[in-house]
Amino acid sequence: MRCPPLEVFTPSRREECGIFGIYGHEDASKLIYFGLYALQHRGQESAGIAVSDGNRLRDYKNMGLVSEVFREEILQSLRGYLGIGHVRYSTTGSSLLSNAQPFVVFHGREYYAIAHNGNLVNAVELRRDLESQGAIFRTTMDTEVIMHLVARNLKYGLEEALIRALQEVRGAYSLVICTRDKLIAVRDPMGFRPLCLGKLHDAYVVASETCAFDLIEAHYLRDIEPGEILIIDHNGMKSVFPFPTTDSRYCIFEFIYFARPDSRIFGQNVYLVRKRLGQLLAKEYDIDADMVMPFPDSGNYAALGYAEASNLPFEMGIIRNHYVGRTFIQPSQNMRTFAVRVKLNPVKELIRGKRIVLIEDSIIRGTTTRTRIHTLRQAGAKELHMLVSCPPHRHPCPYGIDFSTRGELIAASHSVEEIRDFIGLDSLGYLSLEGLLEATGARCRNHPYCVACFTGDYPIPCEAELQKDCFEK
Rounded distance between C-alpha atoms, residue 398 and residue 450, angstroms? 11
- Residue 390 annotated as binding? no
211 catalytic? Reply is no
Let me know the angle formed at the C-alpha of 275 by 271 and 280, rounded to the nearest 5 degrees. Answer: 150
Query: Cβ(206)–Cβ(197) under 8 Å?
Result: yes
329 residue type, one letter: I
450 is in an annotated binding site: yes
CA distance linking residue 147 with residue 297, whole number of Å? 37
Q: What angle do CA 242, 246, 249 make, to 5 degrees?
A: 115
178 among annotated binding-site residues: no
Catalytic residue among 17, 178, 211, 390: 17
What b/e readout covers 80-97, taking b as 16+ CB neighbours within 10 angstroms?
Answer: bbbbbbbbbbbbeebeee
Task: Let me know: does 149 contact 165? Beta carbons within 8 Å.
Answer: yes
Is residue 196 marked as binding? no
Write the CA distances from 267 to 194, 409, 459, integer angstroms: 10, 30, 21
The radius of gyration of the chain from alpha carbons, rounded to an integer in Å, stands at 23
Q: Please state, as a whole number, how many other Cβ atoms lie within 10 Å of the Cβ of residue 164.
A: 16
Determine phi and psi for 282, rounding to 5 degrees: -65, -35
116, 195 in Cβ contact below 8 A? no
Q: Would you say 224 and 195 are in contact if contact means Cβ atoms under 8 Å apart?
A: yes
Which residues have a catalytic role annotated?
17
Q: List the binding residues for [4Fe-4S] cluster.
A: 251, 397, 450, 453
